[in-house]
Amino acid sequence: MIIVTGGAGFIGANIVKGLNDSGRDDVIVVDNLEKGEKFLNLIDLEIADYIDKRAFIDMINGGEFNGELDTIFHLGACSDTMEYNGLYMMSNNYDYSKTLLHFCQQNRASFIYASSASVYGTGPVFRESSEFESPLNVYAYSKFQFDKYVRRMYGDRSAQIVGLRYFNVYGDREQHKGHMASVAFHFSKQYQEVGYVKLFEGIDGYENGAQLRDFVSVEDVVDLNLFLLKHPDISGIFNVGTGRCQSFNDVAVASINRCRREQGEDALDLSTLQQKNIIRYIDFPEALKGKYQNFTEADISALRAAGYTKDFLTVEEGVSRYVGRLIEKSMSS
């Protein structure tokens, strides 16, 4: 049996879908549906059971799943980088994760958990090593501290432990995330509603919209998680990105041009989109100054060395495919 915590959320629900597609329906989803719209991510999934997070912790502590599980995919966390309640963040992200890690070790079950590229802070080196890690907010700190905890007990592990440092993930089943949804989601929505998209102006030497991130499709994220499920001999903390940075302008161009394609219109390059005022730039938020990653690019050499060879989608490929599905879904609803 497999448990997916945060299984009604963005990455978690996509992993459940991937497990279903691979023939697995012995999946228990653990989540907190106080944010009720997340149920939409579960309607087309085959699961063995749904358990509220709070009941799940009691069940774990009571030994209810002892000997029954082979894997926990742990995606359950508060991922809002603007959440400043450190007590809540450390309880929800750090203590909860420790409980599940120890349960898996006691039961010799695989533990594949979500870390975050936010642990690196402003970079500029994004390699899985402590000298490059400097979190800028309490969310990043909670992930950073758990990775450190894993490293301390890593040598005595009894089963697979994998931490995945996700870079900028975009794709299906993120509609419930509000302002934390990907820019690809927001750009496509903006263009369809008002005919233009808004990006941050340049800062810290970057031109307008030219800040660089490693944008990775949730399709690739699912493929990697399923690969790790099939290879319990692989353990470690790994970056999950494409290994190449692209600009927010690139994401905007890909999003807009897929919308235009669906409307029977020609694709336009960045310069033309700027001239036509289809891409617009807004003031950089004061609250984000000094806390914003202008550049991220995953060093995926450790992941490659572990044996993962599949190519990752580019922004042009992945965003176009994703926006196409968003449009198809909106037309059928």
pLDDT, one tens digit per residue, over 319-331 is: 999 999 999 988 8
pLDDT in tens, 259-275: 999 999 999 999 999 99
The whole-number pLDDT of residue 239 equals: 98
With cut-offs at 50, 70 and 90, classify the pLDDT of residue 78: low
**218 pLDDT more than 70:** yes
Mean of pLDDT values over 146-152:
96
The whole-number pLDDT of residue 138 equals: 86
**DSSP tag of 279:** E
Query: pTM for the full model?
Result: 0.94
Phi/psi of residue 30, nearest 5 degrees: -115, 130
- Does 177 participate in catalysis according to the annotation? yes
With cut-offs at 50, 70 and 90, classify the pLDDT of residue 82: low
The whole-number pLDDT of residue 290 equals: 80
Q: How many CB atoms lie within 10 A of CB 263?
A: 10
* CATH number assigned to the domain covering 175-211+246-294+318-332: 3.90.25.10
Active-site hit among 53, 177, 198, 291: 177
With cut-offs at 50, 70 and 90, classify the pLDDT of residue 291: confident
The whole-number pLDDT of residue 28 equals: 98
- Element (DSSP H or E) covering residue 142: helix 138-153
Over pLDDT 90: what percentage of the chain?
83
Active-site hit among 139, 166, 191, 322: 139
Q: Per the structure block, which two tokens stand in for 9?
A: 């959320």
β 212-213/197-200 pair status: unpaired
Mean of pLDDT values over 301-307:
98
For the chain, the average pLDDT equals: 93
Domain definitions of the chain by residue range? 2-170+215-241, 175-211+246-294+318-332
Residue 7 · residue 31 · CB < 8 Å: yes
With cut-offs at 50, 70 and 90, classify the pLDDT of residue 179: confident
- Please, which contacts does 61-65 make with residues 24 or more away whose CB atoms are closer than 8 Å? 61/99, 65/1, 65/3, 65/103, 65/107
Phi/psi of residue 201, nearest 5 degrees: -70, 170
Mean of pLDDT values over 81-102:
77
User: Using CA of residue 12, residue 17, residue 22, residue 23, what is the dihedral sign?
Assistant: positive
- Does 139 participate in catalysis according to the annotation? yes
With cut-offs at 50, 70 and 90, classify the pLDDT of residue 137: confident
Q: Name the architecture of domain 2-170+215-241.
A: 3-Layer(aba) Sandwich (3.40)
Residue 17 · residue 45 · CB < 8 Å: yes
**193 pLDDT more than 90:** yes
The whole-number pLDDT of residue 191 equals: 97
**Which residues lie closer than 8 Å to 113 by C-beta, 6 or more apart?**
72, 73, 74, 75, 97, 100, 101, 146, 162, 163, 164
Over pLDDT 70: what percentage of the chain?
96
221 or 141: which leads in pLDDT: 221
Residue 19 · residue 226 · CB < 8 Å: yes
Among 250-259, 285-294, 323-332, which range has the highest average pLDDT? 250-259
